[in-house]
A and B are shown apart, each in its own frame.
Chain A
Amino acid sequence: MTAGAMNRETLFNTVLAVLLLVLPLAAVAIGEPFYVTLATRMAILALAAVGLNLALGLGGLVSFGHAAFFGIGGYVAGIFASHAFNQEPMLFGFEGSDQMPVIWLSAMLVSALVAVPIGAISLRTSGVYFIMITLAFAQMIYYFAISWPAYGGEDGLSILTRNAFPGLNTAQPISFFLICYGLLMAGLLLFWFVRNSRFGAALQAARQNEARVAAVGIAPFRIRLAAFAMSAAITGVAGALFADLNRFASPSMLSWQMSGELIVLIVLGGTARLFGPVAGAILFVLFEFALGGLTERWQLFLGLILLGVVLFARGGLIGLFAGKARHG
């Protein structure tokens, strides 16, 4: 990759980061709080996709089941909040919590803990098998959620008041947006850090040539499993935020369509690019909003656009602006 392309990508990333921060603040200033919610949605979906990008972009692990972790994060937020609200103990006398930091850490932990056995089985295979198996496991969790009546079953689980963050009033849209934006930046920092670490180098090398990585004494399986769990944890936090945004943990967060959308976000933006998920999420939410305003059938047009991108414009939005990705 040339230095020029590098600079263009950095410039593009900076513009995206600034726009995503400034536009909601401007929306508040002119009294259009609806756009703040739209931007919050972008930030949360972007964070979920940053998580998936770690597995899919860096590791080449095409997980079609990341909705499982997105939904688990959402349900952790919903379940903790409902126990705290009703003051009934859940496990070992723990009474739930309505504090976001507690919920986030738990969402990361639970998502990662679920990801380890799923990853351990799925990563024994590769390619198409991996895609189908991650899809199947996500579907298993989806069916469990809708057939388990304790936490809402098919109706989902409402969060009566948005969970709290020390020192901020989360009921204000702009405060909640800033929290989500902060976490998105933290997630991007982590992705950048991982990509440039020894661990990230091994992960990317395993994607490019598994045999050579094994030959130099690195076990690809363990690296991939760690990346899969880390990726699940990030997507889990995003799920907790998403449930708080809608004040609702919905089984649809666990659905296969959600898994598909997360992949779409990454590819629309640019696979394995640092800001690919951000560009993709902005584009996706804008499509949804703009096309959704024009026609009820916006998904038809989304499908056509997506088909066009896959067949003719590989590299996504960032590829369009900043040139071809260095795949590595």
Chain B
Amino acid sequence: MSTALIIEQLLNGLQFGVMLFLMAAGLTLIFGVMGLINLAHGSLYMIGAFACAVVAAATGSFWLGLAASLVAAAAAGALVELAVIRRLYDRDHLDQVLATFALILIFSEGARWVFGSFPLYLDIPPVLQGAVSLLGGAHYQLYRLAIIGVGIVVAAGLYLLISRTRLGMRIRAGQSDREMIAALGVDIGTLYTVVFALGAALAGLAGALVGALQSVQVGMGEPVLILAFVVIVIGGIGSVKGALVGAILVGVVDTLGRFLLPKLFAIFLGPAEGATTGAAVASMLIYIVMALILAFRPKGLFAANT
């Protein structure tokens, strides 16, 4: 096992983590500010991917597709917030789960109706095709590196947005006391719509970026959504910093686990048996990590004070 291979897997883990962060950041903001659990976040991810694939196919430009994914997901998010989500803030979590579960059914079947059951494919833009050489002679896909870069930019941007701008101030105020900032004259309804649309845009961006690595199809959002839940549970619901740490942790642990555990088990159980056992254990690894973290810190690593 060479160092180059390990570095490659580490970067894969990082890229996966960054993608999870884009999903988890929106979820955790929405929960932190509005106290809402949104299962339909995976549908917004899917909408972003479809918008990107359709626009890229029509115009031939990945970048226009990427812009379309942001616009489409943010618009869908704002629309859903105004039509449905708004009525759920005062309800209990069971109602929120059910209504957003219903939204998943509607979005998934709707997408299948419009786009059919066959996956769409999205090409990596020419500028980002190919590989780069890293230290130690490793080669790595440029596009995946670019995704990591996008993640860093988004994380920094969110940090600046939340800590340095008026909108961020309102978001933080909303997290600590919703009634109070409404009483101080902030238009809380608009703030909610903006936060929801922002989270949706991030999910859409993640969907579009991943769409070029995998295929774009109905149902692509929910496995990612559930992993994003694991991320924010680990990080502490409501905390963007927690979402970042949790996402990188989950991404790296999952990727390295799938790579290393089969080899590790092969030492003890022999190659064939070891590979299957290792793969089965690796598929459960992040959930075991989640259970361990919760056993010691039931509110996650960076619990926000909500």
Contact = CB atoms under 8 A, between A and B. Distances in A.
Contact of B233 (A132, A149, A256): A132
A140 interface: yes
> Interface majority SS on B: helix, strand, loop or mixed?
helix
A166 interface: no
B105 A127 contact: no
A23 B94 CA distance: 33
Contacts of A137: 287, 291
Contacts, number: 116
A55 B232 CA distance: 24
Interface string A129-143: 101110111011001
A105 interface: no
Contacts of B63: none
Interface string B33-49: 00001000000000000
A299 interface: yes
B97 A62 contact: yes
B98 interface: yes
A303 B290 contact: no
> Interface majority SS on A: helix, strand, loop or mixed?
helix
A67 to B, nearest CB: 12
A64 B104 CA distance: 15
A140 B292 CA distance: 14
A314 B92 CA distance: 12
Contacts of A115: none
B101 A128 contact: no
Indicate the member of B103, B104, B105, B113 with the most A CB atoms within 10 Å. Answer: B105
A302 B226 contact: no
Interface of B: 31, 37, 84, 87, 93-95, 97-99, 101-106, 108-110, 112-113, 222, 226, 229-230, 232-233, 237, 276, 279-280, 283-284, 287-288, 290-291, 294-295, 298-299
13 contacts: A128-B37, A129-B237, A129-B298, A140-B288, A143-B283, A264-B101, A297-B109, A297-B112, A297-B113, A299-B105, A303-B102, A307-B103, A311-B87
